[in-house]
Amino acid sequence: MTDDAKLHRMIARAIRAPSSHNSQPWLFRPTDEGIDLLADRTRALPVTDPEDRELTISCGCALFGLRVAAAAEGLGAAISPLPDGPGEERLAHLAFNGPAEPDLRDLASVIDMRQTWRKAFTDQAVDTDSLTTLQAATAREGAWLAPLETEETREAAAKLVAEGDAAQWADPRWRRELAQWMHPRRAGDGLTLPGLAIPIARMVVRRFDLGDGVAARDSDLADHSPLLAVLGSEGDSPADWLATGQALHHLLLLGVKAGLAASYLNQPIEVIHLRPRLQALAGKTGYPQILLRMGHAAMDHAPSPRRPVDDVVID
């Protein structure tokens, strides 16, 4: 049994997790001996993410946040993934009677510091020790992290990102979905823009194919990232997506500890026919789930908003 203040603190930490379009597609249900994590599929992105793959990864990130929060409260965490089967709303049950994960306690202090960094990184390289640490954490969660290290693979990945951008921006349904998630900060979710810019930005995104400009910028970012790496998994089932989400949040928080920021270039995974080509570049068996860029950055923006804890807790 855990008191209300503890539960509130834990859920407040869990909801700092990253999620696609900052959609925060999660709900939490306290139980006698733990917490259920449920998918909120009313927050799905049917055009960008028709199978709820990224939605499940996002919830996996929140699940890892819960584990960190439990460790910070001195509680253990036994995870039962998909206790009702794949496709059901309950994605995991966390019971506090599980093994303690003392090393995760240390990550609680950086949960609030992690932010997606979409601009260029400094020239400072990502050292091999940090990369090894990130890869070990990823493996512990049941996923893999494959850095794209040669000039050839990086350039090929940058081209795939540009192709992905072109395909997404050419699709009016995809643009409409993106515009729907451009919100003022007070909304507590979505991709935040300054209030006055919202109507015009939404209109531009809905009506115009900005693909060429975005593709050029993104492929340049990919090409010039100190670390460009594919996060992937052996299988491509909801259980794999949930594990990938935990791996993602784990490596992002370890990255913050090592002074690293990250952002995403997932277009060649979201645009389904490009995914096998990224897979070939990663040189691993299994499925690419996230294309990450990482490096050093002087973080200078406000954290992205979240909905209040009370809005994501159900009985």
Ligand X SMILES: Cc1cc2nc3c(=O)[nH]c(=O)nc-3n(C[C@H](O)[C@H](O)[C@H](O)COP(=O)(O)O)c2cc1C
> Residue 24 or 130: which CB sits closer to ligand X?
24
Residues that bind ligand X (CB under 6 A): 18-22, 54, 57-58, 61, 115-116, 118, 191, 263-264, 266, 304
3-state helix, strand, coil in the chain (%, to 5): 50, 15, 35
Torsion sign across C-alpha atoms 55, 58, 64, 70: negative
Residue 177 Cβ vs ligand X, minimum distance, rounded to whole Å: 13
Residue 193 Cβ vs ligand X, minimum distance, rounded to whole Å: 12
Residue 35 Cβ vs ligand X, minimum distance, rounded to whole Å: 20
> Residue 2 or 116: which CB sits closer to ligand X?
116
Token pair recorded at residue 271: 């645009």
Contact call for residues 16 and 309 (beta carbons, < 8 A): no
∠ CA 68-74-78, rounded to 5°: 60
> Residue 75 or 160: which CB sits closer to ligand X?
160
> Residue 75 or 271: which CB sits closer to ligand X?
271
Identify which of 204, 309, 128 has the alpha carbon closest to the alpha carbon of residue 136.
128
Query: Cα 181 to the chain's mean position, in Å?
Result: 16
> Residue 168 or 279: which CB sits closer to ligand X?
168
Residue 151 Cβ vs ligand X, minimum distance, rounded to whole Å: 24
Residue 8 Cβ vs ligand X, minimum distance, rounded to whole Å: 20
> Residue 35 or 292: which CB sits closer to ligand X?
292
Query: Which residue of this chain has its Cβ atom nearest to ligand X in the complex?
Result: 18
CB count, 10 Å around CB of 72? 18
Say which DSSP state 304 is in: P
> Residue 75 or 252: which CB sits closer to ligand X?
252
Residue 27 Cβ vs ligand X, minimum distance, rounded to whole Å: 17
> Residue 36 or 54: which CB sits closer to ligand X?
54
Contact call for residues 258 and 267 (beta carbons, < 8 A): no
Token pair recorded at residue 120: 């260029």
**Cα–Cα dist 108/125, whole Å:** 26
Q: What dihedral angle (degrees, nearest 10) is formed by the CA atoms of 33, 314, 52, 303? A: -100
Residue 218 Cβ vs ligand X, minimum distance, rounded to whole Å: 9
Region of residue 46 (left: phi > 0; alpha: psi -120 to 50; beta: else) = alpha
Residue 315 Cβ vs ligand X, minimum distance, rounded to whole Å: 27
Does an H or E element contain 262, and which? strand 261-264
Does an H or E element contain 33, and which? none
State how far the alpha carbon of 286 is from the alpha carbons of 153, 266, 283, 289, in Å: 18, 16, 9, 10
